[in-house]
Amino acid sequence: MGRERPAAVLFDRDGTLIADVPYNGDPARVEPVPGALPALTRLRRAGVPTGVVTNQSGVARGLVHAADVAAVNARVEELLGPFDVWAVCPHGEDDGCGCRKPAPGLVLAAARSLGVDARDCVVIGDIGRDVEAARAAGARGILVPTPLTLAHEVSAAGEVARDLRAAVDLILDAAPPARHGAAGGNPPGRGPAAGAPARGGAGAAEPAGYGPGGGRTA
Ligand SMILES: [Mg+2]
Ligand SMILES: [Zn+2]
């Protein structure tokens, strides 16, 4: 049951790789999310290119300079290692650009820069528009919610992982790894049904027991 290894994994920045400090222009305030570096290291060791796709509308709003965003991004790389591509949208909500997520532009630009097809990429983010941008670009989206992620964003996401480690498990098809099963049985909470979100879409081919709305299995 192996998926092909993705051509690249593209991460949202704020709230996904680093703590979300709105309109941050100060490199000293960059704080990686726990588990970010090990997750990235696993992907890099597996030979999977990594990138960042980030909305920075603070630039358009005059709340942060583009140079400050660049300094913050450089600090991210100091702490989390080099990414193969960065795609940044500096526009505002009303600019009508094609790159601000949930538009697909950042994902498409990152894929183009890497010389890969967006449909072979994975996008990991913490809110609905990350997943929507992935979907719009034809990529696979994985939501890693934070306490600020809205319930409807979780239920609308096709795939949800509890943290970056679990997201990389999904990507590298490593869950549950055999080496952890030597003592017998699956680790608690790692079964296929654990935490499976109710799918809100018009799923035509959902397996029994996963009907929309839940509670319809009887
Ligand atoms: Mg975010
Ligand atoms: Zn833009």
Q: Which residues contact 188 (CB under 8 A, 6 or more apart)?
A: none
Find the 126 Cα to ligand 1 centroid distance in Å. 5
- Better pLDDT: 69 or 174: 69
pLDDT score of 208: 36
- Better pLDDT: 208 or 121: 121
Q: Is 123 inside any structural domain?
A: yes
CA angle, residues 146, 136, 48, in degrees to nearest 5: 70
pLDDT score of 3: 63
Token pair for 197: 């979100």
Find the 19 Cα to ligand 1 centroid distance in Å. 9
Taking 50 as the threshold, does the pLDDT of residue 193 lie above it?
Answer: no
Q: Is 58 inside any structural domain?
A: yes
User: What is residue 36's three-state secondary structure?
Assistant: helix
Q: Is 114 inside any structural domain?
A: yes
What's the domain range around 124? Answer: 8-178
pTM: 0.80
Condensed to tens digits (0 to 9), the pLDDT of residues 57-91 reads: 999 999 999 999 999 999 999 999 999 999 999 99
CA angle, residues 22, 128, 174, in degrees to nearest 5: 105
Taking 70 as the threshold, does the pLDDT of residue 54 lie above it?
Answer: yes
The residues placing their C-beta within 5 Å of ligand 1, an ion, are 12, 14-15, 126
How does residue 218 score in pLDDT terms, banded at 50, 70 and 90? very low
Q: For residue 16, which ligand has an atom nearest its CA?
A: 1
Find the 110 Cα to ligand 1 centroid distance in Å. 17
The CATH number that applies at residue 164 is 3.40.50.1000
Q: Is 112 inside any structural domain?
A: yes
pLDDT score of 173: 83
pLDDT score of 174: 58
Q: Which residues are part of the catalytic machinery?
A: 12, 14
**Average pLDDT of the chain to the nearest whole number:** 85
pLDDT score of 127: 98
Residue 130, Cα to own-chain centre: how many angstroms? 7
Find the 28 Cα to ligand 2 centroid distance in Å. 26
How does residue 204 score in pLDDT terms, banded at 50, 70 and 90? very low
pLDDT score of 210: 33
Count structural domains, the chain. 1
Taking 80 as the threshold, does the pLDDT of residue 192 lie above it?
Answer: no
Average pLDDT over residues 115-126: 98
Q: Is 22 inside any structural domain?
A: yes
Q: Is 195 inside any structural domain?
A: no
- Better pLDDT: 3 or 41: 41
Distance between first and last Cα of the chain: 29
Other beta carbons less than 10 A from residue 98's beta carbon: 14
Taking 80 as the threshold, does the pLDDT of residue 202 lie above it?
Answer: no
pLDDT score of 2: 52
Token pair for 4: 């092909």
Taking 60 as the threshold, does the pLDDT of residue 195 lie above it?
Answer: no
Q: Is 90 inside any structural domain?
A: yes
- Rounded to whole angstroms, the Cα distance separating 91 from 61 reads 8
Q: For residue 21, which ligand has an atom nearest its CA?
A: 1
Sequence-ordered strand ranges (E) for the chain: 8-11, 50-55, 85-89, 121-125, 140-143
Q: Is 85 inside any structural domain?
A: yes
Taking 80 as the threshold, does the pLDDT of residue 161 lie above it?
Answer: yes
- Better pLDDT: 198 or 82: 82
